[in-house]
Structure 1
Amino acid sequence: MLEVGTPAPDFTLQDQNGNEVSLHDFKGKKVILYFYPKDNTAGCTKQACAYRDLYPQISQHGAVVLGISKDTVRSHKKFEEKFELPFTLLADPDRGVLNAYEVQKEKTMYGKKVMGTVRTTYLIDENGIIQDAQEKVRPEEDPQTWLEKIQKQENQ
């Protein structure tokens, strides 16, 4: 996991509509950048739908949500449409951004060691600096956690 207080690595990936999106496109906004293993799986669907449900409140606090996985643009489009997701999903099939953010790690699945995406969320400030980070997040609780962190920052 990358260190809090360091610049977030910039990237350019395709979104669910095939448009190129860069992290620097969101300069001046807070970014909740969450990495997840795979579209249309139980945990990832719970997490995405929880972000969907809280998206209006997150937006009210000047933040955007970006979800990244190794899935394709086409897979992301189907996922977005199926669950009416109002935020950007970014495709990283080459895993370059997943590696840059140190979320590709060895995991144990069904007793075997495999490389996979560790569910991780970063909060990046308006200047592109990592303000907070958490790995091995609980999918259904992750969005509420970050909404509360953004609200708490505003009240300081």
Structure 2
Amino acid sequence: MTTNPSCLVVVVPCSAAKLSTTAPVPAADLSVGSFHRLCRRAAHAIAGGTGTVLVLSAAHGFVTLDEPLAPYELRMGEPGSVQPDQLRAQAERLGLHHARQLIALGGRAYVDAVATVRPDVLRPWPAAAASASSATGCPALPPPSNRCSWHKSSRTLEFACPPIRRPLSC
């Protein structure tokens, strides 16, 4: 995948909870944690039909939703997790520097990792709320239901969110 210069890209974190399998599965199916699912719903609402959603895997870096991954046990920042120089090289290959806008959803470690690639990354959730949510199962963020909207002017995300669906590539 190479990013279209007019494209919006939204990056979501992986999750500690993984699908119970030993075989590689698409990245979209591997992470099953509640915070990851919440971030995915929000990402798809933000990206709409023209943006791209990527997963930031602690083990593999930036991955597309259809990229096959085997389960792994690793969190961002732990020994063996993807490093900033690896993320910058991946971002170059993916063309993330060409994206019109890059938005990162997730806890502080994941959002900060995206910022090493693009310091102008938008962070619509306060880091404290996102970090608390990922650690405790999302109580700091409103629960998903059937509406989610991204307000460009204030750079805020308003919940509730639609079901997860695969985005169209931009």
Q: Give the TM interval when normalised to the shorter protein.
A: 0.3 to 0.5
Q: Which has the higher contact order (CA 8 A, sep 6+)?
A: 1
TM-score normalised over the length of structure 1? 0.33
TM-score, with normalisation over the residues of structure 2? 0.31
